[in-house]
């Protein structure tokens, strides 16, 4: 182990939080994960790995305290009654096994949830529609309702204590927690002692703090998570005014302040729209208002930035959700001086999509995230090689890099070949788009690891033919040659090529993202057609707009870059394009394209609901629809399978985008999975390839279903 650099000693100082003490300043703040009460063993294993990785405090996701505020279909934690205790105790045991404190974020979401499962009527300070689009309204709480919520919260705090938690939260963050709904004038129109003045609006939060401390404060620390700024200016809570004043009123009541900004899309901004430490301007004043420890977040991955935040008095504990997902061993690597080994969060928010889609969490940088229990994957450990087979990986994009790195870690002799002069594959182009420079960390991290390995050799500018692959005599061959964008419009909306797109007088004016990245000059005005619905079309529109081109963006969806709703950046993307002057047409497809007599293209647009047609003239058409696998080498090798044995080849496998195009996270996962399963033997297609959690009909019976060996 490398001796710790004394510059970072401050990060490893213990911090007292009420009746408990954390061993260091690394604090995994509460974060959702798509597992919650539905997959408690998976959840416990994931949190336990973080504790093993050195986090001093590891917190839960939101934990529902009552069926009167549940957030189905999302999988959060539950402490509705004592029957829920065994499931959450799995997590506290996993954290304590590695010396970490476990924190429980209790919540009552008020008008923020429609109670789809329980069908109970939501409650809020005042009558208001729920946040979701469900045609349901939350009713205004009376004094009995307030007393009930206080009672439910106290009971849940006691259950959290009995489940082994060391820190118990009162949650008033993200515009989700009921205490925040009372504090904000936007959602509190009451005229009694719980409304009007800020002191009155803070009353409910004060009561929950006092109730919780009275219930569990002798053994558990009591934390408050509060959004000190809603980023709404005078229409909401601001850090200069009511956010500051609310902290001042309650300054010494909690044992810890966990402060952030609202709502969740502001708190967890992607790297495309924010830098490391971006919340400091909103939370820096909190420590001047209280003597209690303060934790804040800001997607910190640099140990120097962490030390600076502490020494400047911004916070006492470095809070992290996404950096702890990208690298659960971040604290240990800093302590051991292994800075090159840190998997830095790229700020893509693929982790958030798990919760939004109600499936287990995943991560672009860390392909083991969410797989700790069901597949037994560990972010730092992998089984050694089971044979002396040599491996050729063709393609040094995200799949090939991760595949070569993981195989090298296992001890295999690996050759990694790429036709280009740089590693990174699709990441080279993605990272050149506005705001996406951090995405190159995916390639950089893996190259740093590969460069340390004597058993992995990299060959750039090496385009291989099937004959050359056969001549080399590698035992295992993986084809990770990526994908290319189509130029005919085929995609979700168009199952056939767009009419007229292949005409000789049209085709030269039609471009794909690959053409843009290759340096093609697109004449203005440009029509971008987005049937991909992720980041690409919006980012290209921004890039071309910044180059001074007139840009029109057309999409069959109801909004631009619709999937980025899942990464919580859609509103920022569309707002930014509108401010740039990009002309946007939604619910619109392309019915046909022809050459315009006056030059350029005549595009026939069609409303996706009514099929009403509208003409649009443009000089160039940029299609962002779908990608085809670049699998020609794989196909050529398959055609010569009869020659494999003589060449010493046991298997040829197509992986990543070359097999089926997807996200960067999916590409990295594919490479990691292929490396883990190289010598595991093939499972029958009808075998579930991971362990499942089965909950018994009566009680909690967590039965494990193991993957056959």
> How distant is the alpha carbon of residue 120 from its chain centre?
31
Count CB-CB contacts under 10 A for residue 317.
Answer: 25
Pairing of strands 101-107, 167-172: parallel
- The pLDDT score that the predictor gives to residue 174 is 86
pLDDT above 60 (res 709): no
Tokens of 178: 């009921």
Residues 468 and 477: beta-carbon distance below 8 Å: no
Tokens 């080279």 locate to 428
Q: How confident is residue 696, by pLDDT bands cut at 50, 70 and 90?
A: low
The angle formed by the CA atoms of residues 618, 621 and 625, to the nearest 5 degrees, is: 145
* Tens digit of each residue's pLDDT (9 = 90 or more) over 597-641: 989 999 999 999 999 999 999 999 999 999 999 999 999 999 999
> pTM value?
0.95
Q: Which tokens sit at 533?
A: 């619905």
Rounded to the nearest integer, the mean pLDDT of the chain is: 95
- Euclidean distance between CA atoms 325 and 130, whole angstroms: 30
Q: Specify the pairing of strand 620-624 against strand 693-694.
A: unpaired
Q: Give the DSSP letter of residue 120.
A: P
For the annotated catalytic residues, the residue numbers are 32, 171, 174, 267
Q: Look at residue 702 in the predicted model and tell me its pLDDT.
A: 43
Write out pLDDT tens, residues 510-556. Answer: 999 999 999 999 999 999 999 999 999 999 999 999 999 999 999 99
The 8-class DSSP code of residue 547 comes to T
Note whether 13-262 and 485-628 share their fold: no
pLDDT in tens, 355-364: 999 999 999 9
Residue 282 has pLDDT above 80, yes or no: yes
| Cα distance between residue 324 and residue 343, in whole Å | 10
Burial of 131 (0-12, 13-18, 19+ CB in 10 A): middle
Is pLDDT above 50 for 206?
yes
C-alpha 45/C-alpha 346 separation (Å) is: 23
**DSSP run (H or E) holding 413:** strand 413-417
User: For the segment 74-118, what is each residue's pLDDT rounded down to a tens digit?
Assistant: 999 999 999 999 999 999 999 999 999 999 999 999 999 999 999
pLDDT recorded at residue 438: 97
Q: Give the separation between CA 400 and CA 418, rounded to whole angstroms.
A: 9
- Second CATH level (architecture) for the domain 13-262: Alpha-Beta Barrel (3.20)
DSSP-assigned letter for residue 672 = H
- The percentage of the chain sitting over the pLDDT mark of 90, rounded to a whole number, equals 93
Mean pLDDT over residues 217-239, rounded?
Answer: 94
Query: According to the model, what pLDDT value does residue 492 have?
Result: 96
pLDDT at 686: 79
CB proximity list for 255: less than 8 A, separation 6 or greater: 17, 18, 19, 167, 217, 221, 222, 223, 292, 293
For the chain, give every domain's residue range: 13-262, 390-482+630-676, 485-628
Distance CA(688)–CA(705), nearest Å, equals 9
Q: 390-482+630-676 sits in which CATH class?
A: alpha beta
Provide the pLDDT confidence category of residue 684 given band limits of 50, 70 and 90: confident
pLDDT digits (tens, 9 = 90+) for 559-570: 999 999 999 999
What is the rounded CA–CA span in Å between residue 680 and residue 612? Answer: 56
pLDDT confidence bin for 688, thresholds 50/70/90: confident
Judge whether residue 700 has pLDDT over 60.
no
Tell me the per-residue pLDDT of 245-266, one tens digit each, with 9 for 90 and over. Answer: 999 999 999 999 999 999 989 9
Predicted pLDDT of residue 49:
98
- Does the domain spanning 485-628 belong to CATH 3.40.50.300? no
Helices (H), 258-385: 264-267, 280-283, 303-311, 322-326, 330-335, 350-356
Tens-place pLDDT, residues 16-63: 999 999 999 999 999 999 999 999 999 999 999 999 999 999 999 999
């Amino acid at each position: 182990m490398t001796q710790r650099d004394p510059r970072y000693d401050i990060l490893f100082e213990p911090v007292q939080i009420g009746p408990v003490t954390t061993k260091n300043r690394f604090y995994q703040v509460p974060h959702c994960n798509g597992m919650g009460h539905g997959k408690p063993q998976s959840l416990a294993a994931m949190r336990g790995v973080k504790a093993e990785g050195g986090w001093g405090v590891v917190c839960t996701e939101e934990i529902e305290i009552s069926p009167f505020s549940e957030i189905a279909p999302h999988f959060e934690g539950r402490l509705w009654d004592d029957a829920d205790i065994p499931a959450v105790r799995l997590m506290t045991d996993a954290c304590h096994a590695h010396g970490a404190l476990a924190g429980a974020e209790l919540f009552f979401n008020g008008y923020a949830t429609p109670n789809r499962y329980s069908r109970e009527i939501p409650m809020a300070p005042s009558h208001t529609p729920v946040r979701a689009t469900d045609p349901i309204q939350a009713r205004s709480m009376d004094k009995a309702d307030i007393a009930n919520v206080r009672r439910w919260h106290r009971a849940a705090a006691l259950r959290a204590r009995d489940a082994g938690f060391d820190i118990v939260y009162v949650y008033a963050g993200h515009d989700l927690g009921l205490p925040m709904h009372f504090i904000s004038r936007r959602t509190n129109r009451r005229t009694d002692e719980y409304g009007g003045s800020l002191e009155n609006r803070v009353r409910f939060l004060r009561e929950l703090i006092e109730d919780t401390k009275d219930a569990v404060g002798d053994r558990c620390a009591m934390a408050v998570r509060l959004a000190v700024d809603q980023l709404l200016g005078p229409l909401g809570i601001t850090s200069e005014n009511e956010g500051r004043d609310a902290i001042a009123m309650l300054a010494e009541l909690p044992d810890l302040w966990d402060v952030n900004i609202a709502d969740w899309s502001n708190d967890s901004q992607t790297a495309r729209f924010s830098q490391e430490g971006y919340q400091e301007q909103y939370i820096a004043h909190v420590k001047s208002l209280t003597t209690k420890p303060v934790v804040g977040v800001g997607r910190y991955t640099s140990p120097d930035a962490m030390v600076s935040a502490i020494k400047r008095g911004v916070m006492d504990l470095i809070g992290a959700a996404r950096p702890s997902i990208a690298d659960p061993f971040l604290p240990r690597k800093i302590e051991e001086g292994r800075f090159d080994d840190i998997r830095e969060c790229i700020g893509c928010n693929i982790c958030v999509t798990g919760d939004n889609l109600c499936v287990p969490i995943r991560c672009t940088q860390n392909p083991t995230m969410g797989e700790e229990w069901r597949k037994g994957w560990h972010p730092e450990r992998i089984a050694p090689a089971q044979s002396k087979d040599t491996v050729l990986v063709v393609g040094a994009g995200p799949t090939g890099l991760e595949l070569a790195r993981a195989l090298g870690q296992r001890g295999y002799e690996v050759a990694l070949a790429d036709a280009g002069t740089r590693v990174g594959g699709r990441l080279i182009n993605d990272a050149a788009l506005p705001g996406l420079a951090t995405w190159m960390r995916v390639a950089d991290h893996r190259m740093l690891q590969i460069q340390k390995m004597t058993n992995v050799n990299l060959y750039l500018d090496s385009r291989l033919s099937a004959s050359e692959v056969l001549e080399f005599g590698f035992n295992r061959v993986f084809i990770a040659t990526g994908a290319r964008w189509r130029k005919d419009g085929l995609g979700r909306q168009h199952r056939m090529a767009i009419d007229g797109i292949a005409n000789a007088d049209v085709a030269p004016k039609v471009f794909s993202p690959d053409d843009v990245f290759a340096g093609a000059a697109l004449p203005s005005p440009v029509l971008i057609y987005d049937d991909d619905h992720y980041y690409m079309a919006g980012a290209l529109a921004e890039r071309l707009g910044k180059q001074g081109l007139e840009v029109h963006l057309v999409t069959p969806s109801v909004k631009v870059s619709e999937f980025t709703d899942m990464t919580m950046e859609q509103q920022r993307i569309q707002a930014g394009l509108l401010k740039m002057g990009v002309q946007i047409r939604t619910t619109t497809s392309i019915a046909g394209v022809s050459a315009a007599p006056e030059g350029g293209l005549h595009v026939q647009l069609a409303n996706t609901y009514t099929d009403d047609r509208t003409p649009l003239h443009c000089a160039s058409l940029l299609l962002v629809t779908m990608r085809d696998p670049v699998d020609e080498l794989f196909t050529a090798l398959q055609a010569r399978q009869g020659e494999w044995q003589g060449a010493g080849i046991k298997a040829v496998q197509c992986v990543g985008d070359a097999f089926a195009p997807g996200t960067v996270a999916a590409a990295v996962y594919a490479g990691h999975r292929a490396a883990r399963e190289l010598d595991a033997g093939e499972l029958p297609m009808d075998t579930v390839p991971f362990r499942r959690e089965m909950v018994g009909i009566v009680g909690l019976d967590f039965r494990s279903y193991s993957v056959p060996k």
